[in-house]
Amino acid sequence: MFDADGVLFDSYESNIAYYNAIFARIGEPPLDAEERAASISYAAGQVFEMRAGGRREMLSRMYEIARNLDSTPFFKLLRPPFDLRPFMLELKRRYRLGLATNRSATVAPLVAHLGLADVFDAIASAHDKVRPKPAPDILALCLKRAGVAPERALYLGDSPIDREAAQAAGVGFLAVGARVEHRHRIATLGELDAALARLDSADPRIAPAVKASSR
């Protein structure tokens, strides 16, 4: 299972532009430092709640704007490490693939934009009206839809809340990038094949998870 932001692509610039566009519509200043950090990993609703600070009318207005906002300009700011489609299709020959993300309404158009609409065996997100990460709900739903037991799954994430969600869901975890501490880590997605082989042969605690979605 893959997280989206920070794993399949660098979305820092895109996410900041997205939230700032919404805030500008209601006369609010741009994201502050804490909100910028949250924008990478947390669900949109969580970021909106940080800004609204209990002001229900503001929160409602942000949701309304988000529902009607064209995501295309923000997708163009995403930075995948390489052409994802052939990479994912090769993985799909050996594993069931899932996407488990705190994104919500943008998931379907995002997957289409990346050319991955037919790649994932299961997708779960905050749009499914379950608790966002760090709760395990999104991962658990993705596993259910994929027909894979937790102990036979591996989650790729780039943040502490991804690690917490994986632990709570009972799945293995592989850190991507430097934003989260974990004994199993890759710098970029391009190192995934080598990491899977390494985990499969060297760590019996993780090997079942690497074989998790094996076809």
pTM for the full predicted model: 0.88
Q: How far apart are CA 207 and CA 176, in angstroms?
A: 18
- Say which CATH number the domain at 183 has: 3.40.50.1000
pLDDT at residue 76 in the model: 95
The pLDDT tens digits for 3-56 are 999 999 999 999 999 999 999 999 999 999 999 999 988 999 999 999 999 999
pLDDT at residue 201 in the model: 72
Q: Give phi and psi for 88, each to the nearest 5.
A: -70, -35
- Asked if residue 89 and residue 71 are part of one domain, the reply reads no
Residues contacting residue 173 through CB under 8 Å, at least 6 positions apart: 154, 155, 157, 162, 163, 166, 167, 182, 184
The total number of structural domains in the chain stands at: 2
- Asked if residue 88 and residue 188 are part of one domain, the reply reads yes
User: Does residue 152 lie in a domain region?
Assistant: yes
Q: What is the mean pLDDT of residues 79-85?
A: 96
Give which of 182, 189, 146, 145 is closest to 165, Cα–Cα.
182
- Asked if residue 93 and residue 23 are part of one domain, the reply reads no
For the chain, what is the largest distance between any 2 Cα atoms, rounded to a whole number of angstroms? Answer: 55
- Asked if residue 123 and residue 104 are part of one domain, the reply reads yes
C-alpha distances in angstroms, 16 versus 20, 161, 163?
6, 19, 23
The pLDDT tens digits for 177-196 are 999 999 999 999 999 999 99
User: Does residue 22 lie in a domain region?
Assistant: yes
- Asked if residue 206 and residue 112 are part of one domain, the reply reads yes
Host domain of residue 117:
84-210
Which residue has tokens 């692509």? Answer: 9
> CB atoms < 10 A from the CB of 16, how many?
18
pLDDT at residue 202 in the model: 61
Residue 203: pLDDT band (50, 70, 90) is low
pLDDT at residue 198 in the model: 86
The pLDDT tens digits for 88-98 are 999 999 999 99
- Asked if residue 63 and residue 114 are part of one domain, the reply reads no
Single out the residue in 75, 100, 126 at which a domain terminates: 75
